[in-house]
Structure 1
């Protein structure tokens, strides 16, 4: 069995990233145009944040969120109900050997960013960060040597 000489790390390969981005753009266009014949799905403005593909490119997991995050579960249900039609529409825009099976998951990235912002805005965290900045400025010349 041949080894992959390019992908030595645990992360996705360049091909997985490239195909995932292509699927993301194509799926976003399909949802934007309202090509799916489901009025429940077409009433949502859905953002496709990321698409991750399996190493064999046969499964694509799309991280989606409706605009504003409202009725997220309803939108996810509508997407899952129309998976076959979405798969067909997306595969028409791709030049892959197999049409990837689409899976939909709610994108929680925005929630995590809000939590991080809220954490960084706390007084004790700002005080600790400011104290760390002061130490870094004073500690730059700790070796006592002259810079040449």
Structure 2
């Protein structure tokens, strides 16, 4: 269970990391990086940042680059939050592929609907909602 303090710090770090990545967009060679979530450990010493990268085919390359530069990013973050936090947590970055997962499910549903037209409509008309 996340405490109120952890939640506040998570939101602050997410906002400031998003701003850092937004400012660096020109240097990222046309790749958009967004921070989808930040989770902070109970002792506030470690923060896990979940990133979405568009286009997704460059995600692994960008994650490697970001992890390689994590000390610089942490320093920039510390400059932004120095009046709110005494100590800036260690940052670890992970890919958030939930949007790719949702897109895959949507594609599968679309493909199934095209392969079996009217199947869902017939089930709803009959009152069978288990289709």
TM-score relative to the length of structure 2? 0.76
Alignment partner, residue 58 of structure 2: 71
Partner of 1:114: 103
Quote the RMSD (CA, aligned, Å): 2.7
Quick check: 1:103 aligned with 2:92? yes
1:33 matched to 2:23 = yes
Moved over 3 A (4+): 118-121, 126-133
Q: Given the alignment, which residue of 48, 59, 71 partners 2:46?
A: 59
In structure 2, relative to structure 1, the CA distance for the partners of 1:132 and 1:52 (3 Å cut) is: farther
Cα distance in 2 for partners of 1:59, 1:131 equals 50
> Which residue of structure 2 aligns with residue 145 of structure 1?
none
Corresponding position of 2:28: 42
Partner residue in 2 for 1:146: none
Provide the secondary structure at the position in 1 that maps to 2:103: helix
Distance 1:118 1:45, change over 3 A: closer
Q: Which residue of 2 aligns with 1:80?
A: 67
Residue 80 of structure 1, CA deviation: 0.7
Shift of 1:29: 0.7
**Larger Rg: 1 or 2?**
1
Partner of 1:19: 9
**Structure ranking higher in helix proportion:** 2
Q: Cα gap change, 1:135/1:114 in structure 2, threshold over 3 Å: closer, same or farther?
A: same
Report the count of equivalent residues.
121
- Per-residue deviation, 1:105: 0.6
